[in-house]
Amino acid sequence: MTNNSGTAALQPEQEMLNWGRLILDGVPYADLVSARDRDPSVTWFDHWMETAANYERLGEQAQAAGHTITAGEYFVLGSLAAQYAQFLWFDDRRRVGQERKVELYRRAAPLLNPQAERFELTVDGATVPGYVRVPASGSGPYPTAVLLGGLESTKEESYQFEQQLLARGIATVTFDGPGQGEMFPEVPLRGDYERYTSAVVDYAEKLPEIDASRIGVVGRSLGGHYALRSAALDQRFVACISWGGFADMDSYDDETPMTKESWKYVTASSTHEEARERVMRLMDVRSELHKLRVPTYIQHGMHDEVPVSEVDVVKQLAVDAPLTIVIEPHGDHCCHNLGPRPRFEMIDWLEEQLKPRA
C-alpha cells in the first residue's frame, strides 16, 4: 500500500502501536509478541478479538473453580484485548470491539479487588456510564481521583493506573464522556467536556465513601486537555494532572494521519476539513486557564507529537495555579516509552496533594 506521495504507507499498527502504552496498561508482553508474529492471513482485529475470547474462557473456568480474583483479572485482560483490537479502526470493527470490551469489563467489575461499582448518569438526555472503586483497606471517606481518557481511550483501560491509586488509599472514578466508548453513539466530541466531569463529581461527592473536599482530576493525552478545562471551571477539584495534554490544537496540521482519522471519527465529521475546523475550535482552553488555581502537574515528553510548546502556553496563561512541570527529554507521547517511573511520580505527587490538611 502506498500513500499519495508514492512512498510506502504504514499499516495502522505500525504507525500507532506503542508497546510501552499497552504493557503499562496491562497487556502482557507475550500477547504483544503473539500479535506481532501472527500468521499474516490473520488480521490485527481478528487476532486480538480471539485473544479476548481466550481470556474470557479462562475467566469462566477460574470462576467455575471458585477463583474469583483470577477470573476478574482474566476478564480485564480480555477487555484490554478487545480495546486494542478496535482502537485503530474507524468502521464497524470499532463498534464491535467497543461492545466486547464493555461486556468483558462488566463481567470483571464485581470480581475485582476492590470491585468496580458501575453507575449511569444522564446529561442532556444522554447516558454517562462510569465506575467507582474504593480502597479495600483503611476507612473512608477517601480522597478520590477522577480519571479522564483520551482520544480513543475509555474508562475500561485505566485498571492498572487505578490499582496504583487504590493501593495508596485513593478512590477512583472513571467514565466515558462525549466522543468516548459507550457514550460516543449518543454524543460525539464536544468542547464542554467539563460539564460531564462536573456531573460525575456531583454524583461522587454524595457517596459516603468519597471525601468531597479531596478530589483531584487526572487526564491522559486528550484527557489532559479535559483535565485542565475541568479543574479551571469546577472549583471542587483540589489538584490536577495533565499527562501529555495540551491547551489548544493549533498544531493540528502536524498530527499523524492516523490521529487525524481518529479526530474525524470522534467528531462524527464527514470530511477531514470539517474535523479540522471542529477540533481547532472546540479543543481550546486558553481563554479559561486564568481560572485555574489549584496545584497542577504537567508531564510531557520532548518527543511527543503534541509539541512541548503547549507547556509554555499553560505556563503563560495559568498564572494563578501552582505548577509542577516535568519535561522528560527522552519521553514519547505520555512518556509511555519510559516505563512506570513517570506514572509513579505523578501518582505520588497526587497522593501528596490529597493528604488531609493540618
Catalytic residue, candidates 152, 261, 332, 351: 152
β-sheet with 117-123: strand ranges across: 117-123, 126-133, 171-175, 142-148, 210-220, 237-243, 296-301, 323-328
DSSP 345: H
Strand pairing category for 237-243 and 296-301:
parallel
Asked if 187 and 178 count as a contact pair (C-beta separation under 8 A), the reply is yes
DSSP 286: G
Residue 91 grid coordinates: 468502521
Catalytic residue, candidates 176, 333, 336, 351: 333
Catalytic residue, candidates 304, 328, 332, 351: 304
Sign of the four-CA dihedral 155, 161, 167, 168: negative
> Would residue 37 show up in a list of annotated catalytic residues for this protein?
no
Residue 139, judged by CB atoms within 10 A of its CB (0-12, 13-18, 19+), counts as exposed
Instruction: Count how many Cα atoms sit within 13 Å of the Cα of residue 267 in the half-sphere of its side chain.
Output: 22
> Would residue 333 show up in a list of annotated catalytic residues for this protein?
yes
Asked if 201 and 215 count as a contact pair (C-beta separation under 8 A), the reply is yes
> Would residue 158 show up in a list of annotated catalytic residues for this protein?
no
DSSP-assigned beta bridge partners for residue 296? 240, 323
> Would residue 152 show up in a list of annotated catalytic residues for this protein?
yes
CB atoms inside a 10 Å sphere around CB 32: 15
Catalytic residue, candidates 153, 198, 221, 230: 221
| Residue 177: closest CA among 191, 163, 158 | 191
Catalytically active residues are 152, 221, 304, 333
